[in-house]
Amino acid sequence: MVSILINSLAGGGAEKVVLTLLKEFKQAGVPVELVLLEKERFYDLPEGVNVHYLTEFDSIKNPFRKFMFVFISAMRLKKYVKEKDVKVVQSHLIRSNYINVLAQLFGGKHKTQIVNHMMVSFDKKRGFLGKANLWLYKQLYAKADMIVSISRVMKNDLDDFFRLKNKERHMVIYNPHDVDFIKERAKEEPEVFEFDPSKKYLVSVGRLVERKRVDITIKALAKVRETYPNTELLVLGSGEEMDHYKKVTNDLKLNPYVHFLGFISNPFSYLARADVFVLSSTDEGLPNIIIESMICGTAVVSSDCKSGPRETLNPESDIQKVLKDEIEVGEFGVLFPVKDEERLADALLYMLENDDARDEFVQKGLQRAEDFRSSKVAQTYIKTFGLDTPQTIESF
């Protein structure tokens, strides 16, 4: 049996990835169970999937308790692996990855596959906690039987950090997406907003946290409206930066043209009706929302942040390149320099002024999205469960 381990089913991209993989593994006939550290749940479980909890907590907030339960959970995982005769534990997110490897070090007989959803180098900027994580990475990640990174940039980052010699143990497999499900949801009517066919709409989707830098998009909108005054912005999501983004909107006198819609259970219906999806983050893993936008038939403009946008929108380019003072028209979308509202405005104007180019991005984006189809990604994972990395297994 295979078990998938993750912290909880709280809302997030990694959690969505796990649920998509569970569904595909079940359909492919792979015996699989879900193991959770905590009981917090935002998403529903796929039908027929059993879940095992390593703690009784809804969510562990206290840092000391969280640290202690890494070791307690590792011992419980070891016991669970023995009782269920688990052959492979695939884990997602840092804490679960630590627990997976520790359970094996404590005597668990399972093979460990850890999925890396972030750039290790990001932690170099995060003070004591970041340094502690870097130490744990070095102690534990390198001991895993297999590491999977969700982008090539992430893989290079981790290889450089560990100076891995046995690099065949480290693969790139992109996040899975249920393409048909997303397309069906995109056909539904929006819940709380009525689109005006005489206007152009930009859309931002995601948690309203600092690194998303939605304020850059709002400032760029002000410049775009000087040329296209019928352009408006929809902001889907909630979070701690909501009040700040509303203040930026108010200061720029854009209140009638920026619509904060809060959490939306079906963002795909909005993406499908927008003209351009905008991502203005300072850092990301492999942004699921870019791929979901392409599936919905929406042109994409994104910051050239580490690690996923360039790899998704212009995969034949140098993935180590970082834009400084210009936009880049890629094969599947347009990139702009991080935190550069002027260049973001240029990228948006390029999209709005060139209907043919925008339509071409839509068509190419639909083709690109097939690379992330969940059944295809799941089959790649299934081939790895022997963990002997045969030559027939290829990274995406």
Per-residue pLDDT of the chain (396 residues; tens, 9 = 90+): 999 999 999 878 899 999 999 999 999 999 999 999 999 888 888 888 999 999 999 888 887 888 889 999 999 999 999 999 999 999 999 999 999 999 999 999 999 999 999 887 665 555 566 677 778 878 888 899 999 999 998 898 888 877 765 556 889 999 999 999 999 999 999 989 999 999 999 999 998 999 999 999 999 999 999 999 999 999 999 999 999 999 999 999 999 999 999 999 899 999 999 999 999 999 888 899 999 999 999 999 999 998 889 999 999 999 889 999 999 999 999 999 999 999 999 999 999 999 999 999 999 999 999 999 999 999 999 999 985 544 333 444
pLDDT, tens digit, 9 for 90 and up, residues 57-82: 988 888 788 888 999 999 999 999 99
Residues 6+ positions from 227 with CB-CB distance below 8 Å: 349, 352
**Residues 289, 374, 383: CA angle, nearest 5 degrees:** 130
Q: Which fold does the domain 2-176+373-384 belong to in CATH?
A: Rossmann fold (3.40.50)
State whether the Cα torsion 140-143-148-153 is positive or negative.
Answer: positive
- In whole numbers, what is the pLDDT of the chain averaged over residues? 91
The residue among 329, 302, 327, 303 whose CA lies nearest residue 316 is: 329
Beta-bridge partner residues of 113: 90, 146
Question: How far apart (Å, rounded) are the C-alpha atoms in residues 58 and 305?
Answer: 33
With beta carbons less than 8 A apart as the criterion, state whether 332 and 361 touch: yes
Q: Report the half-sphere exposure of 248 (CA within 13 A, side-chain side).
A: 18
Q: What are the domain boundaries of the chain?
A: 2-176+373-384, 180-372
Tell which CATH classification among 3.40.50.2000, 2.40.50.100, 3.40.50.620, 3.30.1490.20 matches the domain 180-372.
3.40.50.2000
Are domains 2-176+373-384 and 180-372 of this chain identical in fold? yes
3-class DSSP string for 235-273: EECCCCCHHHHHHHHHHCCCHHHEEEEECCCCCHHHHCC
Pairing of strands 328-329, 276-279: unpaired
298, 335, 356 from 364: Cα distances, Å: 10, 16, 12
d(CA 53, CA 224): 50
Q: How many Cβ atoms are within 10 Å of 134's Cβ, its own excluded?
A: 16
Both tokens of residue 263? Answer: 């959490």
153: tokens are: 């940039």
- Alpha-carbon dihedral 166, 169, 172, 174, rounded to 10 degrees: -170
